[in-house]
Amino acid sequence: MKVLKSWLNDWVDIDKINGDELSLALESLGFEIESRIDIKPNYKNIVVGKVLEIYPHPNADKVRVTKVDTGNNVFEIVCGAFNFDVGAVVPVALPKSEIKDAFLIDKRDIRGVESNGMICSATELDLWEDNSGILLLDDDVKPGTDFSTIYPQNDIVWEIGVTPNRGDCMSHLGVARELSHYFKKPLLDNSSQLNPSIESILSLSSGTIKECNTYAGIEIENIKIKDSNFNTKYRLSQVGTRIINNVVDYTNYVLYDIGQPLHAFDRDKLFGKISVRYAKQDETLLTLDNQNRQLSKNDLIITADDKPIALAGVMGGLETEVTQETNNLLIESAYFDKVSIMNTSRKLNLISDASIRFERGIDHQFQLLGLNRFINIFQQDQHITYSSPVVDSKQQFSMVDVSFSRNEIYKILGIKLENDFIENMLEYLGINYTLTDNDIVFQSPSWRYDLERPIDLIEEFAKHYGFNNFESTLPIGNNKNNLGEYWHLKRSLTDKLIAMNMYEIQTLSFVSQEINQIFTPEKKSVEINNPIDQTNKFLRTSLHPSLIEVYKNNIEQNNQSEMFFEINNIFDAGEHQNFDSIPNQIYSLSALIPSKLTNSDTRQDPTINDIYFAKQILIDCFGKIELKQIHKPGFHQNLSFLILKNNKVIGHLGQLASQLEKSYELNNSIFLFSIDLTSISSEDLINIIYSPLSPYPYVKFDLSFMVPDAFAASELIQEVEKFLINNENVITIFDDFKNEKSRNLGIRINTRSYSKTYSEEEVTDILNQVVDVLENKFSIKLNKGN
C-alpha cells in the first residue's frame, strides 16, 4: 500500500519530521518499506494561466489556438488537447521554462501560428501518469502564480507492506495512529458536522443475514459529474489510483483516508428497498466491467427490490453505475463479513482495494464517518444537498475485557516496562485499559481484530518498544550436541559417497505415471489433486528415473560421464510406517554408476567399470553385504540383486535393462542401486574391525582351481579363512578365467602366524591341507603345474 507524507500529516503532525526518520519509524512499527520516492519538481518556471479565448487553427484541425492570461501578459498558445474550455485554469510553460527531463520550451511556429510555449498535462510535468489531456487546476488559483507554490514540494510516497492481521492500517488514518505513538503526537480529528437538507427517498436495510452487520447510506441530489479537485487528483495519483471523476475519486479518497470502502449508485436507477442477502444459485449480475457474473449461494449481494444490483464489497453492477449523466447519488457505506467477501473476490478473481479492506476487517464503527468524510470532501468542490445518513445496524459488537498479569510481559519478552510506557502506548493507540499493580485489563478497539488475547497486547508492547531495542541473550539447548540419527546417517552416507567421486543431486519430486511404472509397477502412486503440470501429477515412487534423467541431460550438454546419487523421499499410496492417514514415504538413497566414466585426468581415456565397481561402492558404504539375485522390472535379467545386510534386505543393485538403456539412448551400461534408509542405521556404516598385526614373516601362495560355472568364489575365500582362523590373513581371488572347457579361479593366500615363523615343512603342510580342504569341501580340482 502507498502512503503519502502530506496525507498522513492530515492525521498527525509530522510535517517537520524528515523522511529518513519517518522511514525508520514505519519500518520499526512493522511496515516493511518496499520503496520510497521523494517528490522533487522535474520542471522549471511553470506558471498558472487562465484560458481567455479558444479558436480554431487556420491551417490545422488537430490543434486549437488559445489566449492565456499568465498574470502580467496574455499569450497566444497552440494546444493539441481538447479537454478544457474557456475559463480553465492550467499550468503553462512559457518560453525559457523547462518541462519533464529538462526539456527547454521556446517560441515555436506551428503551421503559421506562433505558439508562446505550451499548456501542460500532468505527464508532461512528471507529476503523475495521465493521458486524458491538460491538467486542470482549481478555478480559484490566480493567473501568474508560480506552479511550484501550489504543487506539493518535498512530499514523500512510501510503498509499505501491511501484514494481513492489520487491516486497520490499510489507510492513512491507520498508519498515522501508529506513528502518533512513535512520535508522541496526538491523532487529529477530521470529522465535521453534516447539514442535511433533503429527505431520503430510499429505504435501506442490512437484511437478515449476520454477514452484513451495518448497511448505511446517504442520498445526494443535483450533483455534477466532473473532474475532482486538484488535491484529490494529486493524492490519488500518488497512491497509484486511476483518476476517473469526482464521485468515483472521492469514494476512493475516503477509502485511502480512513479505510472505509464506499460505493456510489445512481439513485435514479434504483427502485424499491435496498437490502443485502446471499445470492441464489444461478442468479446472475452484470458487473461494472461488463461481465455477466454467475452467482452462487456463497456470494453476498446488494439488492434493489430483491434484484441483484452489486456484489457486496467486491464490485458494483453496470445497471446502477454512476455515469456522466448522473444527477442524484446513493452512497453506500457498509460493514461486511471478512470471509464472505474473501470467498467471492477470490472465486471471481476480482481483487480490489475495497475487497482487500473488507477481507482484513474494517472498523465496525466507521460507516457513518465514511459518509461524513465523503460529504466533507465533495462540499469543498461543489455545492451539494444531501439527506441525513440512514444506518441499519444489527448487534453492537460486544466489548470484552481481557485481563492478564503484568509479569507476563517480562516473562515472554524479557524486558521490564515502565508504567509510563504502558499507559502512553495504550492511550495513543486508542485502547481502553485499566492498570493495577499486578494486572492489565484492556478492550480491543473497534478497528482492531488482532487484539483478543494477552499475547496480542504483549506483541503490541514489543513492537512499540522497538525490536531493535531489545537486549540479545543466547540460550544453550540440550547441551548434548547430538545431531540425531536422521541427520547423522544422511551426513555419513553423503560424505562417503562424495569421497568416492559421486555427485550429489537434488531433483523435483513430480513425475508421470509412466515414469513410475518403469521400476515400480507394483506400487500405487500418490496423485496430486491440483498439480502444477498435468503431465507430472504423481509423486515419484523411485529415485532412479530422476538420476537417469540427470545423467542423460549432462551427456546431452556435452558434460562428463559421472556418477550421481540422491537422498530423498519416495512416495506411494500405501499406509505410512509410523503415522496415521498420510501416504507412505520412504527415505531413500539411489545411485547411478555409468560403466564408462570420464577420467578426471584429461590425458587419460575413460575408465570402464562393471558391476563389481558398483558393488564395491556398496561395500565401502555398508561393509559386509550379501547379494541375492532377483528379477526386477527395469533391470538386466541376471544382473539384478537384493542387497542384504545382517540377513535383512536393505536395497537393490542392478544393471539397467538393455532395452531401457537403448530407449533412453544412453550408449553406456548403467548400474543403479537403491537403499531404504529406514532399514539401516548410522551404525551400519561403521565397518571397522581391528585385527592385531603379527610380527612374524608372511607366507604366500597362489593356487588355481577348476570350478563349475555356477560357483560362488566368495565361498572359497570364506573356507580358507575358516581354516586359517588363528592367523592374520589376506586372501583374495586374483583371477577368474573362463573358456569353453572350464572355469578357473586363482586364489592368493597371504598368511602369518601370530606365534612363530613357519618352517618350510610347515608351509608345505599348510598348503597341502588348504588344497585338501577346498577340494573335499567343494569337489573341485587343483590345477597342477602352474
Partner 1 sequence: MAEVNLDKIFASFILSLEDVVDVSELTQIEKEYLGKGSVLSEERAKLASLSNDDKKKYGALLKDFADKVSKKLESFKVDFEKSYFTEKEKSENPDISLDWFSKKGTRKHILTNVMEEVVDIFASLGYTVAHGPEAETSWHNFDALNTPDWHPARYESDTLYLDKDLKNLLRTQTSTVQVRHMQDNKPPVYIVAPGRVYRSDQLDATHSPVFHQIEGLAVDDGITFSDLKGTLEYFVKEFFGKNVQTKFIPHFFPFTEPSAEVLVSWKDGEWLEILGCGMVDPNVFQNVEYPSTTQGFAFGVGVERLAMLRYGIDHIKNFYENDLRFLEQF
Report in angstroms how near the CB of residue 315 gets to partner 1 at its nearest.
19
238, 310 in Cβ contact below 8 A? no
Report in angstroms how near the CB of residue 627 gets to partner 1 at its nearest.
26
By CB under 8 A, is residue 486 in contact with partner 1? yes
Residue 785, phi-psi category: left (phi > 0), alpha (psi -120 to 50), beta (remainder) = left
Nearer to partner 1, 273 or 523 (CB): 523
By CB under 8 A, is residue 415 in contact with partner 1? yes
Report in angstroms how near the CB of residue 438 gets to partner 1 at its nearest.
17
Nearer to partner 1, 571 or 622 (CB): 571
Give 596-599 contacts, CB < 8 A, sequence gap 24+: 596/561, 596/668, 596/669, 597/561, 597/562, 597/563, 598/560, 598/561, 598/562
Position 137: which residue type? Answer: L
Would you mind telling me the total number of residues written for the chain in this entry? Answer: 786
Q: Single out the residue of 210, 297, 491, 631 in contact with partner 1 (rule: CB under 8 A).
A: 491
301, 278 in Cβ contact below 8 A? yes
Position 90: which residue type? Answer: V
| Residue found under cell 506539493 | 152
Nearer to partner 1, 383 or 480 (CB): 480
The region of 62-70, 337-345, 395-403, 683-691 touching partner 1 under the rule CB under 8 A is: 337-345
- Give the contacts of 743 (CB within 8 A, at least 6 positions apart): 706, 707, 708, 709, 711, 736, 737
Q: Is 536 helix (H, G, I), strand (E, B) or coil?
A: helix
Q: Single out the residue of 404, 503, 698, 701 in contact with partner 1 (rule: CB under 8 A).
A: 503
By CB under 8 A, is residue 528 in contact with partner 1? yes
* Phi, psi at 116, each rounded to 5°: -90, 60
Q: Is 167 helix (H, G, I), strand (E, B) or coil?
A: helix
Nearer to partner 1, 243 or 362 (CB): 362
Q: Single out the residue of 342, 511, 543, 614 in contact with partner 1 (rule: CB under 8 A).
A: 342
Q: Single out the residue of 37, 104, 201, 483 in contact with partner 1 (rule: CB under 8 A).
A: 483
* Binding residues with partner 1: total (CB under 8 A): 88
Sites for partner 1 among residues 542-601 (CB under 8 A) = 550, 553-554, 557, 559-560, 562, 564, 568-569, 571, 576, 579, 581-583, 585, 598, 600-601
By CB under 8 A, is residue 458 in contact with partner 1? yes
Nearer to partner 1, 375 or 539 (CB): 539
Q: Quickly list DSSP for 223-241.
A: ----PPPHHHHHHHHHTT-
Q: DSSP assignment, residue 319?
A: T
Q: Single out the residue of 10, 456, 620, 728 in contact with partner 1 (rule: CB under 8 A).
A: 456
Q: Single out the residue of 47, 68, 390, 526 in contact with partner 1 (rule: CB under 8 A).
A: 526
Nearer to partner 1, 414 or 695 (CB): 414
Sites for partner 1 among residues 426-455 (CB under 8 A) = 453, 455
Report in angstroms how near the CB of residue 454 gets to partner 1 at its nearest.
9
Report in angstroms how near the CB of residue 504 gets to partner 1 at its nearest.
4
Nearer to partner 1, 546 or 704 (CB): 546
Report in angstroms how near the CB of residue 434 gets to partner 1 at its nearest.
23
Sites for partner 1 among residues 250-309 (CB under 8 A) = none
Nearer to partner 1, 163 or 768 (CB): 163
Q: x/- string (CB under 8 A) for partner 1, residues 11-50?
A: ----------------xxxx-x------------------
75, 117 in Cβ contact below 8 A? yes
Report in angstroms how near the CB of residue 449 gets to partner 1 at its nearest.
12
Nearer to partner 1, 55 or 470 (CB): 470
**How far from the centroid of its chain's Cα atoms is residue 531's Cα?**
17
Nearer to partner 1, 34 or 765 (CB): 34
By CB under 8 A, is residue 339 in contact with partner 1? yes
Q: Single out the residue of 184, 383, 603, 784 in contact with partner 1 (rule: CB under 8 A).
A: 603
**How far from the centroid of its chain's Cα atoms is residue 760's Cα?**
80
Listed in order, strand segments (DSSP E) in 712-766 are 728-738, 743-752
The region of 429-437, 461-469, 632-640, 706-714 touching partner 1 under the rule CB under 8 A is: 461-469
Report in angstroms how near the CB of residue 599 gets to partner 1 at its nearest.
9
Sites for partner 1 among residues 462-481 (CB under 8 A) = 462-463, 467-468, 470-481
Residue 731, phi-psi category: left (phi > 0), alpha (psi -120 to 50), beta (remainder) = beta
Q: Is 332 helix (H, G, I), strand (E, B) or coil?
A: strand
By CB under 8 A, is residue 529 in contact with partner 1? yes
Pairing of strands 315-316, 113-115: unpaired
Report in angstroms how near the CB of residue 390 gets to partner 1 at its nearest.
31
Report in angstroms how near the CB of residue 524 gets to partner 1 at its nearest.
13
Q: Single out the residue of 459, 620, 719, 721 in contact with partner 1 (rule: CB under 8 A).
A: 459
Sites for partner 1 among residues 130-169 (CB under 8 A) = 163-166
By CB under 8 A, is residue 403 in contact with partner 1? no
Nearer to partner 1, 596 or 748 (CB): 596
Burial group, residue 467, by CB count within 10 angstroms (0-12, 13-18, 19+): exposed
- The helix-helix angle for 246-258 and 353-360 (nearest 10°) equals 30
Q: Is 350 helix (H, G, I), strand (E, B) or coil?
A: coil
Distance between CA atoms of residues 101 and 82, nearest Å: 25
The region of 86-94, 290-298, 499-507, 738-746 touching partner 1 under the rule CB under 8 A is: 499-507
Q: Single out the residue of 35, 290, 396, 602 in contact with partner 1 (rule: CB under 8 A).
A: 602
Sites for partner 1 among residues 675-734 (CB under 8 A) = none
**Which grid coordinates belong to 709?**
560355472
119, 77 in Cβ contact below 8 A? yes
- Find the angle CA(599)-CA(602)-CA(607) to the nearest 5 degrees: 20
586, 576 in Cβ contact below 8 A? no
- Give the contacts of 67 (CB within 8 A, at least 6 positions apart): 51, 52, 53, 54, 74, 75, 76, 77
By CB under 8 A, is residue 318 in contact with partner 1? no
For residue 583, CA distances in Å to 30, 528, 573, 580, 680 come to 40, 12, 5, 9, 21
560, 576 in Cβ contact below 8 A? no
Q: Is 715 helix (H, G, I), strand (E, B) or coil?
A: helix
Nearer to partner 1, 28 or 123 (CB): 28
Q: Is 769 helix (H, G, I), strand (E, B) or coil?
A: helix
Nearer to partner 1, 348 or 462 (CB): 462
